A and B are shown apart, each in its own frame.
Chain A
Amino acid sequence: MRGWSRRVQLVLPVLAAGVLLAFLLAPLLALLLSTGLGEALAGLRHPLAVAALGLSLLTTSASLVLVLVLGTPLAWLLARRTGRLPRAVDTLVQLPIVIPPAVSGLALLLAFGRRGLLGPWLERVGIGLPFTTAAVVLAEVFVSAPFYVLAAAAAFRRLDPALLLVARSLGAGPARTFFRVALPLSMPGLITGAALSWSRALGEFGATLMFAGNLTGRTQTLPLAIYTALETDVRAAKAMALVLVVVAFGLLLLVGRRAHGFLGGEGARRAT
């Protein structure tokens, strides 16, 4: 009787883990099995897919550039400053991660829409954002920037402050200290953050749909095109889905390896 109970205790966790694992893998397996290579290639030639691939590449590149250029200084400031304000900003920056994308889309509309908070003012200078490609980029920046900023700030916080002081004692001003010491030493963390942020932007659906709409060639990115193609051409939907899975998997491999990068050793990461 006791042996039986022991066996149950050993088997139950394995069983539970197996059930979840199977559940996580089954949809991906189904996607892979249901789509042959030839079918996938044919699906990708569908006009909807061609336009969406190009648009997703364009908008996620633009949003990544914006996130890097504007997010790096923010992450640096968050990491270097202490006090109540930086802590509050740190929390605010994380908000878009936990807010449902549909809410983000609605909020973006309320801010930048024609009758929104800033809409009339933007319209006066000739800028109409909603339902444009620019709106797609903004939605992507909104949902993806926190991933980069948080990862970059964490990387900057891991820097040994003594190294930054040494650089300055050697005559390097703040800019040279940042570009020659802080940036290269934080690079693995920054790349991880950029990869996470970019993959979030690539998968963006809800906020884009609300704020930018679903216009082929203008605002219809890959996730929106998959949703649309489901009604007309399943083959195209599956092909685009496969593209996203392959890209995501590639990013996961990149991020995983980077996390154990060669700069992760002593010195660069030493906590003080």
Chain B
Amino acid sequence: MLDARLDLRRGSFHLAVEFAAGPGPLLVTGPNGAGKTTLLLAVLGALRPSAGRLVLGGDVLFDATSGRCLPVEERRVAYVPQDSGLFPHLSVRDNVGFGLSRLDKTARAARVEQALGQLGAAALAERLPSSLSGGERQRVALARAMAMEPHALLLDEPLAALDTPSRVRFRGFLAEHLRRLAVPALVVTHEAEDARALGGQMLVLEDGHVTERGPVDALRVAPASAFARAFWTNG
């Protein structure tokens, strides 16, 4: 469970959100500049809110009142940026093993094999990221995120960089794994098709504020804001 109440200013932009996310996908959408990426970075710990509180599975990640702010590396929040964020100088195996430095060598190797196997990427282990297709990169990035057994997952437009066929394929794949992982997963998306396929809960951000929230299916049937109506019509 992720409980967030965040207040954050960057220049003239003001993000003020409050939401709770259970296990499974929480889709975040909204116009450009609405604060979607800022929200992810605040949950990740890369940006420090000026007020609010962030609790993940009982751990207080941030609390403005007590001044507590866990650094990124202690939050156990996995982050997959837009272009998958694989380390270009490390093999797929070393990428997936990067977050497992606390395990001994054998346990690490086993966990890497397991994660790659689960995501159907075992055959890619020796490859360098530059030799992977867009879909393969995303699968490896997901394997790396899942191998660290995160308490929450942040995906910034995981489908945006893919061409249509691999996008359709990866959509179902992502939906299945997000459900299986069973931790809160914030997924930024711009596409109605992606939202429909991933399902779960949805949050519409406009100008730093939550304007709509609820199950994807409910929002689709009765979109309230102009942005939400356009979102579902164009997709």
A contacts, CB < 8 Å to B:
160, 162-163, 165-173, 176, 180-181, 184-185, 263, 265-268, 270
Contact = CB atoms under 8 A, between A and B. Distances in A.
Question: How many B residues touch the partner, as a band?
Answer: 20 to 34
Interface in B108-149: 129-130, 144, 148
Contact of A184 (B73, B86, B89, B130): B89
B88 A263 contact: yes
Contacts of B98: 167, 170, 172, 180
B228 interface: no
B44 interface: yes
Given A170-B144, A170-B148, A172-B98, A162 B85 contact: yes
B129 A169 contact: no
Contact of B130 (A167, A170, A181, A265): A265
Given A166-B79, A265-B130, A267-B129, A171 B102 contact: yes
A172 B94 CA distance: 14
8 contacts: A165-B79, A166-B80, A169-B79, A169-B154, A170-B73, A171-B73, A180-B98, A185-B89
Contacts of A171: 73-74, 76, 99, 101-102, 148
- Give 10 closest A-B pairs by Cβ, nearest first: A170-B99, A162-B81, A267-B88, A168-B72, A169-B79, A166-B85, A168-B73, A184-B89, A268-B88, A170-B98
Given A171-B101, A171-B148, A267-B130, A163 B73 contact: no
A236 B43 CA distance: 67
Contacts, number: 72
A162 B80 CA distance: 9
Nearest to A169: B79
Contacts of B144: 170
B127 to A, nearest CB: 14
A181 B89 CA distance: 8
Interface in B27-85: 41, 44, 46, 71-83, 85
Contact of B88 (A168, A170, A176, A265): A265
A186 to B, nearest CB: 10
A15 to B, nearest CB: 45
**Residue among A160, A166, A168, A172 with most chain B CB within 10 A:** A166
A14 B100 CA distance: 61
Contacts of B99: 170-172
B87 interface: yes
A162 to B, nearest CB: 4
B148 A165 contact: no
A263 B89 contact: yes
Contacts of B130: 265-267
A169 B70 CA distance: 12
A211 to B, nearest CB: 41
Given A170-B144, A181-B87, A165 B73 contact: no
Contacts of A263: 88-89
Given A171-B74, A181-B87, 4 more contacts: A165-B41, A169-B154, A170-B73, A173-B73
B89 to A, nearest CB: 5
Contacts of A180: 98
B58 to A, nearest CB: 19
Contacts of B75: 169
B81 A172 contact: no
Contacts of B44: 165, 169
A166 B88 CA distance: 13
B87 A163 contact: yes
B87 A169 contact: no
A185 B101 contact: no
Contacts of A160: 85
